Amino acid sequence: MHGRGRVELQWWGSDIGQFAASELADYVKSMTGTRIHTSRVPAPSDKPGTAHSGIFLARGHVDRTKRARWISTANEKLDSKPDDTYIIQSAAGHVVLTGAGERGTLNAVYSLLEQLGVHFFAPEFAFYQGNSERVPRKSRCVVRAQSTLVEPKWPIRRKDVEEGFSLSKGHIVALVDWMAKHKLNYLVFPYDYYAIGVTRYDDFREVLAPELAKRGIKMEVGGHGYDSFLPPEKYPQFYTSDASVFDVQNQDAVDTYVSNVVDYLADRPEIATFDCWPPDGGTWPKAALSKYGTATNAETVVVNALVAALKKAGISTRVERIAYAAALEPPTGSYEFDPDVLIDFAAIGRTYTVPFGDPSNETNAKFAKLLKKWIFLHQGDVAIYDYSRRYRWRGLGNPIDVIAADAAYYHKVGAQGTESYAEAGNWLQFEAEHLFTAQSAWNPTLSADEFRSDYLPARFGRGAHDVARYLGHTSADPDQLGADGGGTKFRRQYRAALSDIVAAQHAVGRNRSAQNILGLLKSGVHLSLADIDITYEADNPKRLERAQRRYRVLTEKYRFSGIQLECTYQTKRYGFTLGREETAQRYRSPAWGYLREWSLTCRAGESTPLVVVAQPVDFDRHRIRWELDLPDAITSSRASGRLDIIGSRAEHAPCRITVGPNVPAGTYTIGVTFYEVGDRNGGTKLGTDEATLTVV
């Protein structure tokens, strides 16, 4: 479809069809500066199996008879196709975009936009500063003649919030938007991760539900563990002294757990799948294991009871359970899971030094054998719970070639889908991996080379070759860092990766978007090298201390820039404990503040510098007030002040701490409190920090 003249966009269907039409119109306007005239028309047919949602584009007057004929042709092609299949038909001055199920039309829209040169690299997280997508400017959009029909190779394509340390409500909306653009169809969210009230679905539900609904993305909720719905402090009679899992032999206990879950799901009809898991690392009552034989067999009692109760209540929510840890093996004897249950296979102990299906590795070979056993024995779907972005890897690892081989293997043996983690805090550092896992979820036979040949030139232009080398140099399994010689090997590889990024920066020249991303990736490599040096210098106390200090300084500096997730997995590397609540508080605040020096030494009667720092989190404009809390006889050149931050730039307030001449030797604490100052209030408290002052 090309040429001049007014283009008419007609859409039919539900709210998802309307959203698809608005997305197409908005992106075309961004590309050309011209707004397409949009209108709603009646559905062309209400027959079963037809496209109840779609978009028709035509230049000039729309002939209804021709439109009906073109749409009828699309309907015939969609007959018996799986949900999310989409069609793009273009010829003779018209375009038809439609698909199977409501998401099919939206999939067609985003696919067409990609044909027109739009690239959806990442969610529009604030730290991308407008560089999450590439939308070309052009005088007109030319749609090539085609009759394209594309089916998903996997029905289950997910992103998993998991611990959700760094996901704010703004982040979650951006994530859902990006998921739709890459045809992912499930968002996995914890009911209440570890039951500590930090990452809970209900806290995000009001924001999430409408964003998911208008894109047709399904909600999966649950996770570890049974105790969230049967807390031992409320139901002590259902627990034994030798286990953390409730007594599954006790029918009253099972019935109470099931009833509580059913009530929860009845009040939340948007939840399509419920994850029914025991506590993480949970121990089972010895008597139950003796009766049922295995933990997996015992799980069938709970899971099947929940499935039956949901069916009886008329609730369509599917039940999922995880093959994991002590319950990794399939059930034995007469025990089996209901065929409607989704089994997620979680090979937590596997290695990423080689692909999952590589028989040369004994550990992976055992997991592969178990996966095939599950697929053979379970009468329902088996999908993959993936660990390629596991938390303990911190800022290391980019095993895209291994992930590609894994996806092809999973598809070959009959798995029905996969999922991967979705932390925002270090998304930019692993943008390529997130993008590949999304694309391979739609097409698990996509090779790593095919992905790189498309993504890297679009993202980095002339720097594509150098960034490919960078990805290769950072691809090693981070679990190997602690192996013999691991520090030396990783140091060499990441130093080479740093050279790759510098070369890419020279190659891209004035490509501002590429330079912005490369600049952050370069800082990410410096972070990784500091992390690696903590292992490399482990036998040299002075150098180890310097490496730890450098890692902490860089972590605090870049924690909101998309290249470092500051959480307990990182901070324990330099001996600092950061709880889950504290981590979430940082990332869900609009701005944050800290003391750059966390340990000071000074003589009585002398002074030492201290710097107060205010950082943007949402990269908006904020006015931050800070107040120091000082011990007696210890003063500061500035006890309070104001810092104005905007965009990505942190602001600093240098102070001079003076210790009175009569202050006894010892250890003292200097505290600081930060407030966001509003126009109509005294300030909203953001957080606190402290430094240790040793007087000698």
Taking only the tens place, the pLDDT of each residue in 216-230 is: 999 999 999 899 999
- What backbone torsions phi and psi does residue 474 show, to the nearest 5 degrees? -110, 20
461 falls within a domain: no
- Locate tokens 């107060």: which residue? 612
- What backbone torsions phi and psi does residue 258 show, to the nearest 5 degrees? -60, -45
635 falls within a domain: yes
- Whether residue 254 is found in the same domain as residue 369: yes
Q: For residue range 397-420, list pLDDT tens digits in order.
A: 999 999 999 999 999 999 999 999
User: Among 442, 457, 492, where does a domain finish?
Assistant: 442
Backbone region of residue 647 per phi and psi (left: phi > 0; alpha: psi in -120 to 50; beta: other values): left
- Whether residue 44 is found in the same domain as residue 88: yes
Q: For residue range 604-651, list pLDDT tens digits in order.
A: 999 999 999 999 999 999 999 999 999 999 999 999 999 999 988 999
- Whether residue 144 is found in the same domain as residue 162: no
- Whether residue 35 is found in the same domain as residue 114: yes
455 falls within a domain: no
- Whether residue 309 is found in the same domain as residue 168: yes
Question: For position 263, what pLDDT does the model report?
Answer: 98
CATH number at residue 688: 2.60.40.10
Residue 541 has which token pair? 């106390």
Question: For position 280, what pLDDT does the model report?
Answer: 93
CATH number at residue 428: 3.20.20.80
- Whether residue 254 is found in the same domain as residue 401: yes
Backbone region of residue 210 per phi and psi (left: phi > 0; alpha: psi in -120 to 50; beta: other values): alpha
Q: For residue range 51-69, list pLDDT tens digits in order.
A: 778 999 998 777 778 788 8
Bridge-based pairing of strands 7-12 and 37-40 is parallel
670 falls within a domain: yes
Q: What is the mean pLDDT of residues 166-176?
A: 96
459: nearest Cα among 131, 175, 109: 131
Look at residue 680 and tell me whether its pLDDT is greater than 70.
Answer: no
Question: For position 620, what pLDDT does the model report?
Answer: 93
- Whether residue 386 is found in the same domain as residue 521: no
User: Among 115, 150, 185, where does a domain finish?
Assistant: 150
Q: For residue range 66-102, list pLDDT tens digits in order.
A: 788 888 888 889 988 999 999 999 987 889 999 998 8
User: Among 92, 117, 150, where does a domain finish?
Assistant: 150
Above pLDDT 70, what percent of the chain?
Answer: 98
451 falls within a domain: no
3-state helix, strand, coil in the chain (%, to 5): 40, 20, 35
- Whether residue 284 is found in the same domain as residue 320: yes
434 falls within a domain: yes
Q: Is 592 helix (H, G, I), strand (E, B) or coil?
A: strand
Q: Is 5 helix (H, G, I), strand (E, B) or coil?
A: coil
- Whether residue 271 is found in the same domain as residue 393: yes
- What backbone torsions phi and psi does residue 134 show, to the nearest 5 degrees? -120, 115
Question: For position 2, what pLDDT does the model report?
Answer: 47
Question: For position 386, what pLDDT does the model report?
Answer: 96
> Are 96 and 56 spatial neighbours (Cβ–Cβ below 8 Å)?
yes
Q: Provide the pLDDT confidence category of residue 48 given band limits of 50, 70 and 90.
A: low
162 falls within a domain: yes
Question: For position 3, what pLDDT does the model report?
Answer: 43
Look at residue 551 and tell me whether its pLDDT is greater than 60.
Answer: yes
Look at residue 46 and tell me whether its pLDDT is greater than 60.
Answer: no
- Whether residue 99 is found in the same domain as residue 180: no
What is the domain extent for residue 382? Answer: 156-442
CA neighbours closer than 13 Å in the CB half-sphere of residue 598: 13
Type of residue found at 156 = I
- Whether residue 99 is found in the same domain as residue 203: no
Q: Provide the pLDDT confidence category of residue 382 given band limits of 50, 70 and 90.
A: very high
- Whether residue 352 is found in the same domain as residue 250: yes
**Count of domains forming the chain:** 4
Q: What is the mean pLDDT of residues 574-583?
A: 94
Question: For position 419, what pLDDT does the model report?
Answer: 96
Q: What is the mean pLDDT of residues 563-590?
A: 95
> Are 232 and 239 spatial neighbours (Cβ–Cβ below 8 Å)?
yes
454 falls within a domain: no
Bridge-based pairing of strands 684-695 and 599-602 is parallel
- List the alpha helices (DSSP H) in 419-482: 431-442, 448-460, 464-473
- What Å distances lie between residue 490 and 293, 427, 493, 527, 540, CA to CA? 44, 21, 5, 13, 18
pTM tops 0.85, yes or no: yes
Average pLDDT, rounded, for the chain: 95
Q: For residue range 346-357, list pLDDT tens digits in order.
A: 999 999 999 999
- Locate tokens 């996806």: which residue? 407
